[in-house]
A = this chain, B = another copy of it.
């Protein structure tokens, strides 16, 4: 088994250089390009690309088959952060310890940089040399569904609507299922698809991906309570300030930790059922569950 850290590092470097290349090739020099590069190269964990490539590798295929899709996915994730940070949305000044896009540039530039990254993501997939036309169409259909008005955008809309009120656990899970979960799920399922997983394996990976999405969000909420602001790169306690419902609020801190570990077990069990336990994916689940930022 390849161990986790060298894997993370190798694919993070590959994705970083490909992301920068795609933007430089497909944009003109100037303010728009600068704003896109600023947010894309702001030091994200590249969790979604790595999850996609780790899934391909878990099924013993070449992870590079997923590199364009991984870049497209990270562009969509990054655009969503830029737009979510805007004053009309979450109104955040800091992201990963740096000024948010609209603070570094201005609101108009941030809106357009987000629009450009979203559009470029589909361009990158449609031009990917390592994919067949059928694969491109399948991936674009799934990625647009995951990030569109029944996916991530709907989750963000519902998240905005639920501010300043306490919502039931079921509704909180439904928001995160779409806002964060759908892109994580896409990462796993597109990886399994590109690795030619069979129907049984796809079904188990779906269960795994849904559990992983929830686990990831619960840990996010836990870190907002107990995390180190410097490690996270933004002030902790911000959910409370915005009057957002969180898992620790609804379940208590210990309850939230138990819930997180419950989903961790579901995810690991699904890996076992899909025959890909003991891979870098298992370690990745543990890592995401225990991460401190």
A26 to B114, CA, bound (A): 22
Task: Tell me how many residues of A have a C-beta within 8 Å of chain B.
Answer: 49
Chain B residues with CB below 8 A from A79, complex form: 115
Are A28 and B154 closer than 8 Å at their CB atoms? yes
Can you sample 12 A-B contacts with CB below 8 Å? Answer: A26-B150, A31-B161, A86-B111, A88-B107, A108-B160, A109-B157, A115-B118, A116-B149, A122-B144, A133-B133, A133-B136, A136-B140
Given that A140-B122, A149-B119 are contacting pairs, would A154 and B89 also be in contact in the complex, using a CB cutoff of 8 Å? Answer: no
**Does A217 interact with chain B (Cβ within 8 Å)?**
no
Would you list which residues of chain A between 177 and 202 have a CB under 8 Å from chain B?
Answer: none
Chain B residues with CB below 8 A from A141, complex form: 123, 126-127
**Does A137 interact with chain B (Cβ within 8 Å)?**
yes
Given that A137-B126, A157-B112 are contacting pairs, would A148 and B89 also be in contact in the complex, using a CB cutoff of 8 Å? Answer: no
**Does A228 interact with chain B (Cβ within 8 Å)?**
no
Are B115 and A88 closer than 8 Å at their CB atoms? no
**Does A106 interact with chain B (Cβ within 8 Å)?**
yes
A149 to B115, CA, bound (A): 8
Are B161 and A145 closer than 8 Å at their CB atoms? no
- State the copy count for this chain: 2
Nearest-Cβ distance from residue A134 to partner chain B, whole angstroms: 5
Which A residues contact B (CB, under 8 angstroms)? 23, 26-28, 30-33, 36, 79, 83, 86, 88-89, 106-109, 111-112, 114-116, 118-120, 122-123, 125-127, 133-134, 136-137, 140-141, 144-145, 147-150, 153-154, 156-157, 160-161
Nearest-Cβ distance from residue A161 to partner chain B, whole angstroms: 7
A140 to B79, CA, bound (A): 19
A30 to B123, CA, bound (A): 30
